[in-house]
Structures are given as C-alpha cells and as structure tokens.
Structure 1
Amino acid sequence: MKTSHRMTGAALAVLAMAALASCGSGPGSDSGPAADGSATLKFLVDNSLGTTGTAKALTDAFMQANPKIKIETETRPGGSEGDNIVKTRLSTGDMSDVFWYNSGSLLQALNPAQTMVDLTGDPVLANVQKDFLPVVSQEGKAYGVPAGTLTGGGILYNRKVYERLKLQVPKTWAEFTANNDKIKAAGITPVITTFKDTWTSQLFVLGDYFNVRAAVPAFAQEYTANKAKFATTPAARAGFDHLAEVHAKGYLNEGFGSATNDQGIKMLAEGKGAHYAMLSSSLPPVIATLPQAATDIGFFGIPGTDAAKNGATVWEPAGVYIAKTTENLEAAKKFLAFVASPAAADAVTKAVPPTGPYRIQGAKLPADAIQAAKDLQAYVDSGATAPALEFVSPVKGPSLEQITVAVGSGLTPAAEGAAQYDKDVDKQAKQLGLAGW
C-alpha cells in the first residue's frame, strides 16, 4: 500500500551522503574502464537519513578492498519525486552505473528487461538467498541484490510477560486467543492498539499474507488478475476478521483510538501490554530511551490455522541494480557481488545495528542484535517467510488504513471492510492498466 511503503521507509531507504572522501572524476568515469582496470562508478541512492551509515559502510569497505575502483555517490529525493527521477533517467539512458531502489511491485514499473542488466545465473547472485530473488525478478529473470535487512511484520510481544504467565509463543490463532485470555485475566492489556497513527492499524491484514499464501498459493497472481478478492477468499479475509475479533473480545487498551505508535512501543516495553501488531523496524529508534526494548521485546508471525504451516510475513530489503547503459559493467558487477557478501554485511553491522536478518547466505547477526531480529532470523533459517503482498502484486489501495481503523474500532464489520478494500484497489489497478480490470 501507499501507506505501507511509508511504514517501511526507514527499513528500506538509503543514503544521505553528499560526497565521499574519494569521490571525484577518475579514469573510466565517462568512457569505461581504463587499461589498468581502474574505473569510477556512479551510484544513485535516495537521500533518506536512516541509511547514510549503511551506504558509507558499503562503499568505504568496497573501495578499501578494490583500490582501483572509485565510487561517486549521487543522491535523489525519496517518495514519488524520487521514483520519477529514477524512471526518467532510465528511460533517457542517463542512469548512473548502479542504483539503489525498491524491490517488489515498484520495481516492476521500471521495465527492468529493457533498462537493467540481467543477473540471472551470474556469480554476482551466489550469496543471495533464494527467497529474495522473486522480489527483484520479472518473468523469471533476476536484476538486483539485497541492500539492508529484512523487516518482520507480525506480533511484537513482551517476553517477560510471557515468562511470568508461563505462556508459549502461539503457532495458531486459537493459541494466540488463549494467551490473550490469560493475559487479560492477569490485568494486562493483551493487544496494544494505536489508531491515532492510522497506518499502524494495517498490520493484522498486511502481516497475515504468509498465511494467505499458505492457504492459497496463487492468491497474488489471481488478485493481480482480478480473479480473487479479499472479501471472497476466506484466508485473505481472515486479517480483517482478526482485527474485528481482538476488539470484540475486549483485548485492546483503553484510549486505543487516540494512542500513538510511540506510546504503543513504550507500553509494550514496560510490560503494560503484551502484544502489538507492528513492524520490527519500529524498535531501534526507541532503544535509546527504552533500552529494555532490545531484549524484552520479541517477535512472532501472525498465527494462522495450521501449526504445521506457521511462518512470518516480511518486508524485503531494497535492491541494488546495474543500469544497462553502464560502460563499467565488470566493475559494477564486482560492486554488486560485494554488496551481496557476508563481508559487506559485517561492514554494515559495525556501522548500523541491524533491525532484522540479512538476505545474504553466511551473513550473521551480531550477538548483541535486538531480540526481535534474532526471532525473525529463526523464521528465515527455517524457510518460513513470505514477502508482504505489495512485493508480489502491484495492486494496492490508498484507503486501507482508514478501513482497518473502522474495522478495528468495531464500527465496520470485517466482511464489509474487506469488500470496501476490494473496491478501493479497483481504481488504482485500472490506472496501472492491469489486465482483467
């Protein structure tokens, strides 16, 4: 959703560097590599503050290991303005050698087969986890490597509350409900809800996609083709049902309609509430003031109906891609191979504490990583993750957060909310010119 991209901007965006110490024009910057193998790559990234350290760590470490290759960093705005810059530069043949951009549905609009270097089967992808490849692929061909880390979308929970009440992490919705009943009986808020920040209302729906895919493996394709709907697909409607249920059973905190995301995280960290449907990337910003959030808050995927098919929905990292117009293809591939290596992950980890696992084989979280990231790593290690729907379908609607607030407040029945969202996406799908709409 439009809103979900905003939710994950801190996790997926990069770089706010005006220049690097070693920037500057060098051999090969305009006319390809020099005879001695030296080259200068231009690297276009957005100017989000959250990833300045990530980009600097990557480029510094790469140039130290490859002294004949220099990297000039160019920045662009984020959001739709930045999207338009990327599209324009690709269409006019004026793109930098390599560039950082979203994975998933936004990538599809860039016409990668015509604008990017096909990396399918290339050694550049040797360390890339297979689960990541679909979100940087089109028609079976892969075009990018992962930059940054995964973000989990599910349930953040207070581990001390669980220990005190002797609860186990639930693997089914029925087990989750039983836990909530025990938590409520103990005088603790079972499910923290923060509808003042309306975007936070979406997680029970968006974070449930792992379960949707488990029940209906072709849902994304059928949904994109206008052959499947939330309201008429029970597994997809379940997210709306869950949102309505936690309100109907009295699990929510008092004043949930005026509570903010910051207040929700604080309430969870202090053990005044046990569960919060949220993104794992929301934790690092509050650790400075609530250090216990690093260790006391864990993560689990939104439970479905089958314990044997338990898993978690994830928001995938952005990708780094090579423009077809580059005259420095060998150097560009060398840089992407580094970005997708354990050495790069180690360099980034030293500069920026990871908010989730890397999508790189052999990359390990540090021992002092936040607990939620470690919990998410366990899902990755067991192969039990699915990318959020927005990464596998371009069909999104702008009004989901308003619809989920109404459903989660008991104002709109779940079935009606799901039907409203089906209508909400129709206009955008038609604007995209998708077949079947």
Structure 2
Amino acid sequence: MTALSGVAMAQSVNLTMLVDNASHTLAISEALAEAFEAKNPDVSIDIEARPGGGEGDNIVKTRLATGQMTDIFWYNTGSLMQALAPERTLVDLSDEPFMDNVADSFKQVVTAGEGVYAVPTRPAEAGGIFYNRKIYEELGLEVPRSWDEFMANNEKIKAAGKTAVIQTYGEPWTSQVLVLADFYNVQSEVPDFAEKYTAGEAKFATTPAALRGFERLKAVADGGYFNADFGAATYEDGLRMLAEGEGAHYPMISFAIPALSDGYPELMDDVGFFAQPGDSAEDNGLTVWMPAGFYIPQSSPNIEVAKEFLAFVASPEGCEAQSQAVAVNGPYLIDGCTLPDDVAAPVADLLPYFQEGGKNAPALEFLSPIKGPILEQLTVEVGSGFREPADAAALYDEDVRKQAQQLGLSGW
C-alpha cells in the first residue's frame, strides 16, 4: 500500500479511534497507528479507550446513534455488529480493493444486506480452556478430551489444595465463556440448532445440548473449584493467576494470548490451551471466534483517510506490525500474512484444530444475528449459585426473543 496515494492531502488529518480497554487491544491499536503514521506523516491518530462488556456495547450504540462516534472504532463482529443497524450507521467497504485481501470467512460475519463493513483486527480466535502446564505436570494430569475427564482433573487439582478453575466475575463478560465455548458440542449434537434458533424454533431451555452449557457452569461452581475471590477478581487477575500457577484452568477466548505474553513473557511456556470438552472424547472440537473488526461510521468527516487506515490493517504490513507488538494468537485472516516461527505455546496447541482433519465450528454468535445482552448477568448468577441453569436458559430465551423482534426476524 502506498502512502495515501488515493487521498489528496491539502493539510494534516487527525483520525480518532475508539477501542476497548483490554491491554492487548490497546497494544495492537497503538502499534497499527504508529506504523500507519510512519508511512503517512500527514496523519495522526488519537486512540480513546472504553470499557468492555455490556457497558462498552452501550457506549458504542449511543455514540453511533447520536453521530458522536470516532472516525474508526474497534467492535465485535457477528450478532453484536448486526445490532448496530450497520446499513444505516456504518460505511460499506464491499467495493474497496483492499477487501480482496480479507478471508471470506471473516466477511461473512461483517455482512448485512449487500454491505460488508469491517476488516479483522486480529487473527482467528477460539474459546476454550487455558491451563497451567506446571500444575498438570506436578499432578500427572493429561489434557482432557471429555467433560468427565475435565471434571476428574478439577477434583484432583482441588484435592491438592489448588484452585482448579479461575473465574473473574469482577468483569462480568468473562463469565460467559463456559457457555459460549460449548457451542462446538451443541452443533455436533444438534447440527441445525443455529438455523432453528434464528428462526425461533429452537430454544436454550428446551434443547438439552444447549442447556448443557449452563449446567456445566453450575457443575464447576458446585464442585467448589473456583478461586475464593471469583466474584471480585478481574480479567487481568485471571491472567496473572493462570500464568503464575495460582490456578490450573481459565476458561477464556484466545485473544488473551497477547496479554499473557506481554505481561508474563517468561512464563508463556507454562501456559497451554485445549478445546472445551463435551460428552464425547472422540468428537473433541473447538469453538471458533472471528476477531473483532475495525469499522468506519457514516458520521465520520474523514472517511477516505479512515479507509486508507483499514487498507493498511488488511495488508501484510499491518499483520507484521501486530506480530511485532503482541503475541500472535491464531491464523491471520489476511491474504499474504504469515505466522512467526516462534508462536506462543498456546497457539501451537490451538493450530491443530484448524489444520486438515481438525475439528472446529464457529461460535453461535457468528451463525446467528441473535445474542441477548443479559447473558453475562445470567452466567454470573449461575456461577455464583443464585440461579438454576434451566431458569437462566429460559430468561435468556426471553431476552433473545426481544432482540429478534427488534431485528425484525420472522418466526418471533
């Protein structure tokens, strides 16, 4: 990509960017901004951080609705993007040449109507279980391929006086992972669940395979496997506990790898990753997350320059800037981008699921436009012992019904 070759620069341009406040998000955004500024000295980029989870979702929606969004913003793909009414609020990138570099699998999760609205901020990601290899070696444990094997490991870890499963409800969004990362197992058992769910024909509360994610969260909580401060602990606390061996397992999405590598580089060989197990050891597979995207709001006064930034992100140069800034956490979704030879240990664990013969399936939020906003509240309640799984699933189905009606989906 040439330096703003398609943009007439009469004077310097200041771009603004809104991103979530996770440490890896900030590191990636800053690295991309600095690399772009180095190629384009007439452009400066100011980065603003917002909270994650539901609070952050509301900030994004409010700023879009009021025309106060930054020139570029980092936000989820899939169902949460659909809730932004992209055809009314976001700039369509489908005719931009740089979109030819973007993997079709990513384009599918940032498409609404005839428009395509983002480039990927990161490589492909996955939900599952990070684990501490030293604890596994000390206790002679093997990586579990079934839920029963996982729970047996938890019991042995607890018996040894250690925290078996780290939870960090001080940031409620982290409580959802044991439910969301179970979707490979749901789809394996009920292949058409996503289609019927979107059509209003399948529910969490009445589909045993889907209800099982809530039940598994309760089972881990009832086993007494959580850290004592799980109600107040934060995401950063969870990463520290995992890396330093204060806990054996941390259910999390692989976007945590850069933050782990940045905060605990000398301990990365002690961290591993495995797919959330289901009932069958033979059918063990991975729930895959498409990364977040960089979007441009229609309200931006600097759309053409913002497109140049997105073109840089969707190039091998952009990937290289990311690789130098943070640990790579999976395969890139940009044509021409390659992985470094020295990927972190958890990435090496994750890659076989993507290789030929590997088993993986997209998370539900990438197969359906519906994801109810109160899920994180419900999973906190189930994990804290305040609500039964069946009740939580029924409430989530009701939350989903409201969102489906807002989206104008048929069958609801």
Q: Which amino acid in the other structure matches residue 173 of structure 1?
A: W
Alignment correspondent of 1:345: 319
Which structure has the larger Rg? 1
Q: Which amino acid in the other structure matches residue 345 of structure 2?
A: Q
In the alignment, structure 1 residue 46 sits paired with structure 2 residue 21: no
Out of 91, 109, 128, the residue aligned to residue 135 of structure 1 is 109
1:70-106 deviations in Å (ceiling 9; x for gaps): 545466674334433335559xxx995x765442223
1:3-23 deviations in Å (ceiling 9; x for gaps): xxxxxxxxxxxxxxxxxxx9x
1:123-146 deviations in Å (ceiling 9; x for gaps): 523443333222112247534321
Distance 1:221 1:95, change over 3 A: farther
Alignment correspondent of 1:396: 371
Q: Tell me how far apart the structure 2 counterparts of residues 101 and 192 of structure 1 sit (CA, whole Å).
A: 26
Q: SS of the residue aligned with 2:145?
A: coil
Q: Map 1:78-227 to 2 at 5 A.
A: 78=50, 79=56, 80-87=58-65, 89=67, 100-113=74-87, 116-119=91-94, 124-139=98-113, 142-195=116-169, 197-227=171-201
RMSD: 4.1
Stretch deviating more after TM superposition (343-352 or 39-48): 39-48
Q: Map 1:325-340 to 2 at 5 A.
A: 335-340=309-314
1:182-230 deviations in Å (ceiling 9; x for gaps): 4445454433344455443322112212322333344334323322110
Q: Tell me how far apart the structure 1 counterparts of residues 392 and 85 of structure 2 sit (CA, whole Å).
A: 34
Unpaired runs of 5+ residues, structure 1, are 1-21
Q: SS of the residue aligned with 1:84?
A: helix
Q: SS of the residue aligned with 1:169?
A: coil
Stretch deviating more after TM superposition (312-321 or 280-289): 280-289
Q: Map 1:233-312 to 2 at 5 A.
A: 233-248=207-222, 250=223, 252-253=225-226, 255=228, 258=231, 260-261=233-234, 262-282=236-256, 285=259, 290-307=264-281, 309-312=283-286
How many residues matched? 399
Q: Tell me how far apart the structure 2 counterparts of residues 287 and 77 of structure 1 sit (CA, whole Å).
A: 21
Is 2:94–2:117's contact at 8 Å kept on the other side of the alignment? yes
Alignment correspondent of 2:53: none
Q: Map 1:360-371 to 2 at 5 A.
A: 360-367=334-341, 369-371=343-345
Distance 1:326 1:272, change over 3 A: closer
The percent of aligned pairs where both chains have the same amino acid is: 46
Is 1:124–1:333's contact at 8 Å kept on the other side of the alignment? no
* Alpha-carbon offset, residue 112 of structure 1: 4.4
* Alpha-carbon offset, residue 339 of structure 1: 1.8
Q: Which amino acid in the other structure matches residue 17 of structure 2?
A: V
Q: Which amino acid in the other structure matches residue 103 of structure 1?
A: T
TM-score of the superposed pair, with normalisation by structure 1: 0.73
Distance 1:240 1:330, change over 3 A: closer
Unpaired runs of 5+ residues, structure 2, are 51-55
Is 1:153–1:278's contact at 8 Å kept on the other side of the alignment? yes
Q: Which amino acid in the other structure matches residue 138 of structure 1?
A: A
